[in-house]
Structure 1
Amino acid sequence: MGSSSRGWIRASLAWSGVAAVTIVPVGIAAFSPYLPSRNMPYIIGGFAGIVGLSLLFVQPLLPAGYLAGSEGPAGRRWHRWLGGTIVVTVALHVGGLYLASPDDTVDALLLVSPTPFSVYGVTAMWGVVATAVLVLSRRRLGLRYSVWRLIHNGLAAIVVFATVIHALQIEGAMEPVSKWMLCLAALAATGVVLLDLRVVRPFRALRKPSMD
């Protein structure tokens, strides 16, 4: 078997694994016994949240170039597009829940809800909003790229951590085992990529002998 064939197999396995981690929890949730008792806005809002959580697993893998086709500028471009999609899922999540239960949603947004998971959900939401503003205002802010990147990475870590805690505390459509699998995968992907991009690769670059 040639190197190109082995590379194609590795790439296929990697993408298949990512697809399984992201799609399986959504598919299982679609057959949840909770759904028949819920109205359509609640279902749309809930599944927007599940899809958003799934995308948080994929999002850090793209700029790191871990997946075939995501190397270099292509990965960063897909990272930006996926970031925009995550913003949309958050808007649908909050909007759907508001239409389903306005009072409960407003209480959650005002941090007066008795449910503990709402605090983490609101934290994640504002983290996503702050990230979107940071990306769109990058040139206007006049920040050095290293500073901008540090803030961006910090917000990403907050969003993922808060989203995972939010999801794990909710007893809803998501099946527990697949939910834990997805949450751990999102945490692991974020942690590994941040460590790789901000510690390992810069350290290796410093250790490379000068070409001059």
Structure 2
Amino acid sequence: MAKQHKNLVSFGIWSGIALLVAVPVVLATTSPYLGYRSMAYIIGGFAGILALALFLLQPLLALGALPGVNKAHSRLCHRWVGASIVVAVLLHVGGLYLTSPADTVDALLLVSPTAFSIYGVIAMWGVVFTAVLVVCRRRLRLRYSTWQLVHNGLALVVVISTVIHAVMIQGAMEEISKWVLCLAVLATTTGALVLHWVVKPLSRRRRLDRKALSD
């Protein structure tokens, strides 16, 4: 009975994640905006949607919270998903550049008249800095706690900027599914950070206090 309940919970979690990721992508393919867009723009746009969807998985993988995935595999998947986000962001920016070089350069120089571009560029540089930090971690010789603090801080900046960027754009994504995905990304990211930096330390401190009282 307990095993059936566990399997049912696992199925529910994976089904929910699949729906949160698949529904916005499928609905985006039916958008009338795609009818007059170039292939470069379409590929770049869907790369951006993919990056947003992958942000849903990252905090869950970092915590080892996905059912059926042990901690070792979870950490490995976290790295691969991170690499996939970098590739998706590069495709997103590259597709937009091939479609409109001048507008993309203005956005990168933070002189674009569209506010959503600024948040997109902030998110992009956050992803770039995160990738550099991961690659150069050993050379920088940062303490693990310091590296983790910087890494998580960058992740929060990237996610918030990405969500603002996404909700401000009137593009291929259907509005309701886009908002649901964005709120889910914010919730999982914030929840993971609160759990890691607040709940776990408090729980650890309480265990130490109880142990000290019992000695």
Q: Same fold (TM over 0.5)?
A: yes
Equivalent position of 1:67 in the other structure: 66
Check if 1:187 corresponds to 2:169: no
Counterpart residue type for residue 171 of structure 1: Q
Deviation (angstroms), 1:70: 3.2
2:5 corresponds in structure 1 to 6
Distance 1:60 1:177 in 2: 23
CA shift, 1:72, in A, is: 1.7
1:133-144 correspondence to structure 2 within 5 Å: 133-144=132-143
Give the equivalent residue in structure 2 for 1:18.
17
| CA drift at 1:164 | 0.4
RMSD, matched Cα: 1.2
Amino acid corresponding to residue 123 of structure 1 in structure 2: I
User: In the alignment, does 2:82 pair up with 1:83?
Assistant: yes
CA distance in 1, matches of 2:170, 2:66: 32
* Unpaired stretches in structure 1, ≥5 consecutive residues: none
Residue 206 of structure 2 aligns with which residue? 207
Indicate whether 1:113 and 2:120 are aligned: no
Q: Percent identity?
A: 58
Map 1:139-150 → 2, pairs under 5 A: 139-150=138-149
Cα distance in 1 for partners of 2:68, 2:98 equals 39
**Cα distance, 1:155 vs structure 2:** 0.1
Return the structure number with greater helix share: 2
Residues 64 and 71, structure 1, Cα contact 8 Å, conserved in 2: no
Residue number in structure 2 paired with 1:123 = 122
* AA in 2 matched with 1:127: G
Q: How does 1:25-36 map to 2 (within 5 A)?
A: 25-36=24-35
Deviations 1:22-48 (A, max 9, x none): 111011001001001100000000000
Partner of 1:158: 157
Q: Deviations over 1:82-129 (max 9, x none)?
A: 000000000000000001111111111011111110000000000000
Unaligned 5+ segments in structure 2 are none
1:210–1:75: structure 2 CA closer, same or farther, 3 Å change rule?
farther
Match for 1:115: what amino acid? Answer: T
Asked if the contact 1:69/1:75 (under 8 Å) is kept, the reply is no
Q: In structure 2, what is the Cα distance between the partners aligned to 1:199 and 1:23?
A: 32
Deviations 1:15-73 (A, max 9, x none): 10011111110110010010011000000000000010011111111121221133422
Residue 144 of structure 1: how far off its partner (Å):
0.4
Instruction: Return the alpha-carbon distance in structure 1 between the equivalents of residues 127 and 69 of structure 2.
Output: 22
TM superposition shift of 1:75: 1.3
Match of 2:110, SS state, is: coil
Match of 2:148, as an amino acid?
R
**Distance change >3 Å, CA 210–CA 74, structure 1 → 2:** farther
Note the C-alpha offset of 1:175.
0.6
Q: Quick one: distance in 2 between partners of 1:210 and 1:138?
A: 36
Greater than 3 Å deviation, 4+ residue runs: 209-212
